[in-house]
Structure 1
Amino acid sequence: MAQTQRIGVVGGVGPYAGLDLVRKLFDHTRADCDQGHLPVMLLSFPDRIADRPAFLLRGAAVNPGEAIGEIMAELALTGATVIGLPCNTAHSPRILDTALARLAATGRPVRFVHMIKAVTDRARTFGEGARIGILGTEATLETRLYQDSLEEAGLVPLTPDAAGRRRVQEAISNREYGIKAQSPVSERARADLLAEAYNLVEAGARAIILGCTEIPLALPEKTLGGAALIDATDVLAVELVRAFAPDRLKD
């Protein structure tokens, strides 16, 4: 029996990130009945994927790209022709290059939609030289994933100061009140993220990239203080639909 082509989503890189991406895939699909939606496969194996910041910043030996690549390969071998990874930090070349090499070894014709590049393209719409704020994990900011990409695109990246970066990280991963530990989002996590977002607005940001797939769960607004909020997961969802079935993408 021929395999059904489908969109593949690598889950397990944030407890709700994969689910959030799938929901947004459906939100951006033009369909008038159940059968009109696109086929999607989500594989979520958090126990297999090592901690990304620990590998990038703290010298942990296990590269999470190995497990991510294995999951990508499983998606490809079961029919995925387009794959998305809803984790900004995992797009660090030290992780992603390893994962994509494992995917390429399957020999399957699969397109990987790169979240950082897609978000940068969205940021370009604010005009050359625009100031673009970034909220993300310490690992995402320390590895300059967005800063370098934005600068190459002729944009000016703005990030929180050291204390602000720690505040954002705690809002994401604190074991008592962080987004990864609590659902629904705690009041403290939202308040801390709002405070750092407003700091970026005051620094002149025309838009703010929500550069961790947990952050949009706490900041669902489209704008804040006159600045647009760019939900990286939402951008990824749009580009996955466009890559898989462009005629089915909502206007």
Structure 2
Amino acid sequence: MTFSIGSGVFTSMPQARMMPSSRIFDSAGKAPYVDIIVPDDDHQLLVMESIYGAAGVKAGFTEGKCREDLSKAIVHLAERGARVAVLGCTELPLLFPQSTDFDARETTVALVDPTMLLAAACVRHAVASGNSSPNV
């Protein structure tokens, strides 16, 4: 039996433009059973609006239109097969925190906060190396 886990990736537009040349997600996308899915142009604009819009997170909002826009984009990726959404812009987890059970209408999607994962990995590395100093 074979299956794939669709992983949706959200970034801001400058990061999205860099992805093809930087190949940030290439190795993950080549892993067995992982398909990288990015929003179409209309839904990428919703992501951008949720970050940079007049009622976006950078304007100090964490409720209302910014959450609605990002939710629509997450549902869009879920409808295209994503079961995991990587919140690849540091502001996005302020709208929806990392979770395993985001309700994307007819399915459940896991939301991943890469900044939180990186911080946790740094702490694990520091502990494993025996360095408990706060000046790591």
Correspondence 1:97-176 to 2 at 5 A = 129-144=4-19, 145-154=23-32, 155-174=34-53, 176=54
Q: What secondary structure, in the 3-state scheme, does the structure 2 residue paired with 1:143 have? A: helix
2:126 aligned residue (240, 244, 249): 244
Amino acid at match of 2:41: A
One-letter amino acid of the structure 1 residue matched with residue 50 of structure 2? A
2:98, 2:113 within 8 Å by CA — same for their partners in 1?
A: no
Confirm or deny: 8 A CA contact 1:134 1:146 kept in the other structure: no
**1:208 corresponding residue in structure 2:** 85
Shift of 1:146: 4.4
Partner of 2:113: 231
Indicate how the Cα distance of structure 1 residues 194 and 169 shifts in structure 2: closer, same or farther if over 3 A, else same.
Answer: same
Q: Is the 8 A contact 2:43 2:76 kept in 1?
A: no
1:131–1:234: structure 2 CA closer, same or farther, 3 Å change rule? same
Taking only the aligned residue pairs, the percentage that are identical comes to 30
The alpha-carbon deviation at position 193 of structure 1 amounts to 0.2
Tell me which residue corresponds to 1:197.
74
Give the secondary structure class of the aligned counterpart of 2:66.
helix
Q: In the alignment, is residue 180 of structure 1 matched against residue 55 of structure 2?
A: no
Tell me the secondary structure at the aligned position of residue 208 of structure 1: strand
Amino acid aligned to 1:152: K
Partner of 1:132, secondary structure, is strand
- 2:27, 2:3 → 1: CA distance? 13
TM norm structure 1:
0.44
Q: Would you tell me which structure has more strand in proportion to its own residues?
A: 2
Query: For 1:23-62, what per-residue CA distance to the aligned partner results, in whole angstroms no more than 9, with x for missing partners?
Result: xxxxxxxxxxxxxxxxxxxxxxxxxxxxxxxxxxxxxxxx
Q: Unpaired runs of 5+ in structure 1?
A: 1-126
Classify 1:130/1:146 alpha carbon distance in 2 versus 1 (closer, same or farther; 3 Å): farther
CA contact (8 A) 1:185 1:218 kept: yes
Distance in 2 (alpha carbons) for counterparts of 1:240 and 1:137: 24
Indicate the structure (1 or 2) with the bigger Cα radius of gyration. 1
Residue 207 of structure 1: how far off its partner (Å): 0.8
Q: Tell me, which stretches of 5 or more residues in structure 2 are unaligned?
A: none
Structure 1 stretches of 4+ with a deviation exceeding 4 A read none
Q: Secondary structure at the match of 1:207?
A: strand
CA RMSD of aligned residues (A): 2.2
Offset at residue 138 of structure 1 (A): 1.3
What's the TM-score, normalizing by structure 2?
0.77
Q: Which amino acid aligns with 2:51?
A: I
Cα deviations across residues 193-219 of structure 1 (Å, max 9, x unaligned)? 011001111111121101111000001
Q: What letter matches 1:240 in structure 2?
A: C
